[in-house]
Structure 1
């Protein structure tokens, strides 16, 4: 068996609030969730003090230094500040727009200011997940399948790929609904046709997809969603509902800049209460251990009233999802995915609204499990290709190169007044048995385009080329365009995504410049064809239609998205530095454990207090206590001091044995 077939490719659920990693063991025909610090997932949280921390340890630091703990960066990635400023107001750390209206996170630690992009935070989370997987599996990890919401824009998916690259991972992106239904397929024992409505209510987004499963084929037929609707919205609504009562009891306004610690404490308690109340518990009491200590009681009836509007929004989206489909109740079901979908009221409302069976297969782990299965499918597919001679995939165009501009333009004129868009800028694993490996290999998933793609024409209008929910891969029909002005020498093709009819109502994807000889308005005619891959990579072919020269230009539309090569170099350097500190912190913690065990052995074996070994043990104990309470000393100095004392005691102790 080749090394490529033996390689482990991770499945990563990079969530807004929690992230998890899984892999597929083809020998045991199981997917394994890799536990980190005894947990199935880690909070998607990063602490930017010293030492740098990710996950649970970072989350705990928010009770002490909330301005240094960054969370929910996925809600900001690839967005403009004006679109997320309401979300930014609810976060206890500083977020400011830059000159391009991109949100930037400002961290001040000991007089040093650090400006972070949301993509950088995601990259550091991915680097940590990769490092944890390597520690537990004892192998280098190079590749991963990473899940993203189906509603993600092109720029958001590209930034996610950039984050993976900076973390040292070659990545394939997989929509979260596709990942969930892929895992669901491996859990059911039937090849009969069935329709599945994927109800994916996560921490930051809500995705709804309609899939049809028949035999070994899975077809995603329709998708809807809300990228700004998730469990975080419910958390915030609960906090705002009770803020007056909290201030009345404690005398503290948790929304003021001076009480960020108290805000985090309340938020943490509210999230815990939400989980308990979500199961249907009649009431929960929250302890307020700050200001004038007290407590508030949240009744389930009150909780349901606050949650109800958010559930109604998801049900409206489901109605929109299925309105053009005739679904048979006997073979249609709803699959619940995501932590927020565990709220009992959601199950009750869906049961009342729809006459479909409701399934729930590991809603917290399904996305990571599905990504791990997809990773195995890609691995076996690539292994088959590598066994064939001269069957290598062509190398994609590099991100920082532009094709030689040569020609070309529709019967609808392309506007002239365009400004080019700037470059945006193993502890015991949890396992699940699935279908036998050969069955998994045969699975085929047909995804669909999440948003329509078009080009901007005169009058700020969008001429659509590929339409939402068309099955991938796609080759569009040729569509003709013309230049709009006399004596034009440079045309700019502007590509947009979205369902609106104007550029203002859609999202800019990319701008591509085309040089032409000076010509009269409407003299240049050209056709545009898009080829969109299964992973939604868009390649455009432009061909002049009124010339015998057969001038053709082909380029990748997505190539101007994401970070520039210079930005990527800086981000990789920053992530490497961060990861080194994080790894050093983990090494220090492991060394502290080893030192603690060593001192206990010495205490057991050496009774004489005048024995030099006893004194060395006491010195090491004192140092450990000092280092544990020292928040000012850099982690590398702590590690070096502890290493020296530990090795001295260990060497002397082993001489005695």
Structure 2
């Protein structure tokens, strides 16, 4: 009998679990008979924990109810300390986030325990392995945190799958013999992803991905709630409880306006002598949330560019919508405008990702036919090299799992160690990228360029990075594990970095060219001086003058700071010294011959 592997969509607002039974991927219903379970957890004073719809019912009853915890997975308290959240946020001893005293991993584990229990109840047998989905733009720390939550829930997480990839699996299950290139636009409760995938005979390859793990339906609800409160004209600040009631009502209005042109937001007895009753039209709603929805457009255009798609109407077979927020008509209108194609709404927006996770779980368990799933890494990975440059080992949008390595030498004579700084980002200079971790590699003292250190990056199928360094003389290995607190950046910064890599591409490349030319000049100038002292007297005066002029040009170009001027000057000096180099070689050969004859 095949071992069960369940598929789980651990969502910001809702979650779902399923399994392949009798060759068919199915989602499993909870105790309420529903396939969707709210990602809500409540902690009572007596220590009892309730998950799902029952937890949401406890709001306002003096019980802390945590929702949208996914937004804080793998993040630092310093990033989110100003956030207004459903429960108090604080900093943990490790600098991470605590929500009502619980880590996001602990809260997520409670949701996963509930999903595990649903599966075991429905299947009437124990399950201990799972495939869990995450946003494509989750970084290494966020993926690790998700995996830890699964382990804390008693599950072996056999694969982490990106949500758009899972949605593409659900979309393409009945198209395995066909070729198709599709975009998956996934706007959920708390995260946004856009990916372009190619499907060919059971191989699903991600061509490009982009997104924002801090953008989703929660932001739409917040914007509408803020607008409603502004219409009331009240100047007083909302309490946490009032704010949550207003957001919940705004969410209901948002959902109703997907199917009707106008509805009312009503909260009786909102405050003493204050009942809320405001009519909201779809036109007003779309105007209020336009800036939130509009943020997805730049991600879409960037992913089309990264995938090399110039005419989406001709080059894409479909634009698949998933995520509850894609029910909003203005979202669908934006997608149609950007992709020049009517979006495909054949997938259930709340269930497609979970269904894809189930399909991948079925493949891994052997319950479904073999399909190959090729995901990509969303940001470039590399190390800092001499001169403060970013040396990319794994470029952005490289298919994973993957490995890449390179050999490095000591830049300074007699140094005995090399600091390897692992970087993530898209800029040319190391200082403009993010440090994931660092390790010092020790080796025996050696002349410049003689010590050799091998560095290998390995990204597994879950998108988690390991860095191996090796002293090739002693074959001593050091393994650097990127832990869950390594990446101290928020998602606005991720988006900013990618856009800045384009905005500052010319300046960055100019600085890189100047830095590389400067290092070459600093190596060449002393060598020229030493060579002239040895053979300058036997060279033709015109050759000496050519070298001296080129040398002065290099020194002058170093002062200007102009990259192309310095690069050209270094090239002229390099060419001018070709004859001198030949004379030095002849002199060395003569010396060696005389020494041999003297013996």
Q: TM-score per shorter chain, which class?
A: 0.7 to 0.9
Matched with 2:9 is 13
How far is 1:495 from its partner?
Answer: 1.7
Matched with 1:516 is 443
1:562 aligns with 2:484: yes
Q: Which has the higher contact order (CA 8 A, sep 6+)?
A: 1
2: CA distance, partners of 1:485 / 1:145: 50
1:64 aligns with 2:61: yes
Matched with 2:30 is 35
Matched with 2:394 is 466
Residue pairs, 1:159-558, within 5 angstroms: 159-171=145-157, 172-188=159-175, 191-246=177-232, 248=234, 253-254=237-238, 259-291=239-271, 292=273, 293-323=275-305, 324-327=308-311, 329-330=313-314, 331-360=316-345, 361-380=347-366, 440-458=368-386, 460-482=388-410, 488=416, 491-503=418-430, 505-517=432-444, 524-544=451-471, 547=473, 551=475, 553=477, 555=479, 557=480
Q: 1:131 to 1:192 in 2, by over 3 A?
A: closer
Among 134, 138, 145, the alignment partner of 1:152 is 138
Question: Cα RMSD between the aligned structures?
Answer: 2.6
Q: 1:344 to 1:234 in 2, by over 3 A?
A: same
1:84 aligns with 2:8: no
Q: Is the 8 A contact 2:131 2:360 kept in 1?
A: yes
How far is 1:62 from its partner?
Answer: 2.0
Matched with 1:641 is none
Q: Is the 8 A contact 1:75 1:228 kept in 2?
A: yes
2: CA distance, partners of 1:501 / 1:280: 50
Q: 1:55 to 1:521 in 2, by over 3 A?
A: farther
2: CA distance, partners of 1:245 / 1:329: 41
TM-score normalised by L of structure 2:
0.74
Q: 1:102 to 1:54 in 2, by over 3 A?
A: same
- What's the CA shift string for 1:430-458, capped at 9, x where partnerless? xxxxxxx7xx4132222122221112345
Q: Is the 8 A contact 1:124 1:167 kept in 2?
A: yes
Q: 1:459 to 1:298 in 2, by over 3 A?
A: farther
Q: Is the 8 A contact 2:133 2:353 kept in 1?
A: yes
1:96 aligns with 2:23: no
Among 47, 54, 62, the alignment partner of 2:51 is 54
Q: Is the 8 A contact 2:40 2:111 kept in 1?
A: yes
Q: 1:93 to 1:32 in 2, by over 3 A?
A: closer
2: CA distance, partners of 1:525 / 1:176: 41
Q: Is the 8 A contact 1:46 1:70 kept in 2?
A: yes
- What's the CA shift string for 1:276-332, capped at 9, x where partnerless? 113343233323432122411212111000121222221221111112324563552
1: CA distance, partners of 2:455 / 2:96: 31
How far is 1:505 from its partner?
Answer: 4.0
How far is 1:133 from its partner?
Answer: 1.9
How far is 1:156 from its partner?
Answer: 0.8
- What's the CA shift string for 1:400-426, capped at 9, x where partnerless? xxxxxxxxxxxxxxxxxxxxxxxxxxx
Q: Is the 8 A contact 1:47 1:58 kept in 2?
A: yes
Q: 1:285 to 1:74 in 2, by over 3 A?
A: closer
Q: Is the 8 A contact 2:6 2:130 kept in 1?
A: yes
Q: Which moved more, 1:331-340 or 1:500-509?
A: 500-509
How far is 1:536 from its partner?
Answer: 2.8
Q: Is the 8 A contact 2:455 2:469 kept in 1?
A: yes
Q: Is the 8 A contact 1:19 1:42 kept in 2?
A: yes
- What's the CA shift string for 1:617-638, capped at 9, x where partnerless? xxxxxxxxxxxxxxxxxxxxxx
How far is 1:131 from its partner?
Answer: 1.8
- What's the CA shift string for 1:341-382, capped at 9, x where partnerless? 1111111222233322421211110011000110010111xx
- What's the CA shift string for 1:152-178, capped at 9, x where partnerless? 110111111111111110002111011
How far is 1:8 from its partner?
Answer: 2.0
How far is 1:64 from its partner?
Answer: 2.3
- What's the CA shift string for 1:129-169, capped at 9, x where partnerless? 11222122211110000000110110111111111111110
Q: Which moved more, 1:311-320 or 1:516-525?
A: 516-525
- What's the CA shift string for 1:185-210, capped at 9, x where partnerless? 1144x733221110000111110000
Residue-pair matches, total = 477
Q: Is the 8 A contact 1:511 1:560 kept in 2?
A: no
- What's the CA shift string for 1:493-541, capped at 9, x where partnerless? 2322222344554343333343334557765232323333333344444
SS of equivalent to 1:359:
coil
SS of equivalent to 1:351:
helix
2: CA distance, partners of 1:224 / 1:148: 13
SS of equivalent to 1:204:
coil
1: CA distance, partners of 2:413 / 2:248: 59
2: CA distance, partners of 1:54 / 1:459: 53
Matched with 1:394 is none
1: CA distance, partners of 2:266 / 2:432: 44
Q: Is the 8 A contact 1:287 1:296 kept in 2?
A: no
Q: Is the 8 A contact 2:141 2:485 kept in 1?
A: no
1:44 aligns with 2:39: yes
Q: Which moved more, 1:475-484 or 1:368-377?
A: 475-484
SS of equivalent to 1:275:
helix
Q: Is the 8 A contact 2:16 2:27 kept in 1?
A: no
Q: Which moved more, 1:158-167 or 1:277-286?
A: 277-286
